[in-house]
Structure 1
Amino acid sequence: MSAFDLHGRRALVTGGAQGLGQGMAEALAAAGAAVVIGDVNDELGRETAQLIGKTGATTGFVHLDVTDESSWAAAVTATVAELGGLDVLVNNAGVEITSLVVDIDPRDLRRMLEVNVVGTALGMKHGLRAMRPGGEAGAGGAIVNVSSVAATIAFPGIAGYSGTKSAVDRMTRIAAAEAGRLGYGVRVNCIYPGLVPTAMGMQLAVDCAELGLFESPEAAVGAVVGLTPSGRLGEVADMADAVVFLASDAARFVNGTGLSVDGGMGS
């Protein structure tokens, strides 16, 4: 049996209705895991779950507003009830609002803090509580948080976003240390995705051009590629495969760290 085989594992993926989250949910299911998608977009989330289910995988959907504690508690309970446990949590839900530092809107910054920082923190809180001994699932597991290459580089236009993703990195490492010290049996890691041409990624390029930082969205994308030793943008599959790795037994001794999946951009 491959160390990447996830048969028998039960996973919850936040922001799984589209983009990177959808790709991560699909990859986990392809590796054998049963997957519940958590998202605020009920219609799209159910459609994505049904799409994955057509492959023969066990899937489901639960409404999840990652900024709301009661929503988290209900989503985790529903996932455990539907799948019979919880072994993998992927904290992927996130938002990016581009702005020059001199023009930062406190409302935009608070929105990113709520989703990217508070949402991830609450996910780890309820994931650890469910997975630790005596929890609703109680069999240990793995938590994978989605940070960003923005946490490791100084790219114009994304100061607020970079700050929130840097926070995800620090919280990941502390959660891993606490889980280990307290014997939870849960590994906690994060990934640093590079720029991927999803709707969110391409909007960033458009925004940077509109702010006058680059001549055009194409020039913004070209700047990213120019900073990337691999010479290309990332693909959804690149990020999804990294999540499968960190969720699997192949990463059994990988804990409290951040995995760069950025083609070398942040090195």
Structure 2
Amino acid sequence: MTVIDLNSDLGEGFGAWPLGDDAAMLALVTSANLACGFHAGDPATLLDTAGAAVERDVRVGAQVGYRDLAGFGRRFIDMTPRDLTADVIYQIGALDGLARVRGGRVRYVKPHGALYNAVVHHEGQARAVVDAVRAYDPALPVLGLPGSVFLQTAERAGLRAVAEAFADRGYTPAGTLVPRGERGALLTDPDAIAARVLAMVEDGAVTAVDGARIPVAAESVCVHGDTPGAVAMARSVRATLDQAGIGLRPFT
């Protein structure tokens, strides 16, 4: 039976400002990319979300990013490799401590936002993130864009590199994500998104914003938790995959 992991960015509320419906999403996904406090998420929120994930048997991943609360981690920061490596180690360790208190642990690492997009091509920052993961725990897989410098660097360093696709983000003809703010960057129709994910899983392809069909080989599919209507999208995706006989299973 064909299987796929379904992941979502969660734990992104901060103090009095909640973001998304983490409880509902945890009932639908198999892996949770939890913020680590640098781009979003406060310790109490992350402790509760990690505990809820453990209760649901959802894998906890550390979603590491730039130290950019004001910009939600979506602004590129030109950091030295030394500083970026230290920041990523710090974030993994913080979330891992919270998860362990709730009976779980960090099972993988995924860059967030601008860092995710930067390490598609930025060799120095890709290496810095890989070095951080290796230093903390070389058994941790890393999640990233297929064909990215990040995943290539991770593989060369002996890490397990897991490719992911995006249910609700537009693709360029080159296979990268359409930058937020540009036309076609974000999809919101649950039925269209579900059909798109099914095609990704069964055919290994997705339609880019120019209409071209491009290959997408992925072990995991992301539905963003902060996208408007995220829960409805995730429900539609899960129902469509269930009806097609495709199993939902964590990649780690």
Is the pair's TM-score, using the shorter chain for normalization, greater than 0.5? Answer: no
Q: Which has the larger helix fraction?
A: 1
TM (norm. structure 2) is: 0.41
> Which structure has the bigger radius of gyration?
1
TM (norm. structure 1) is: 0.39
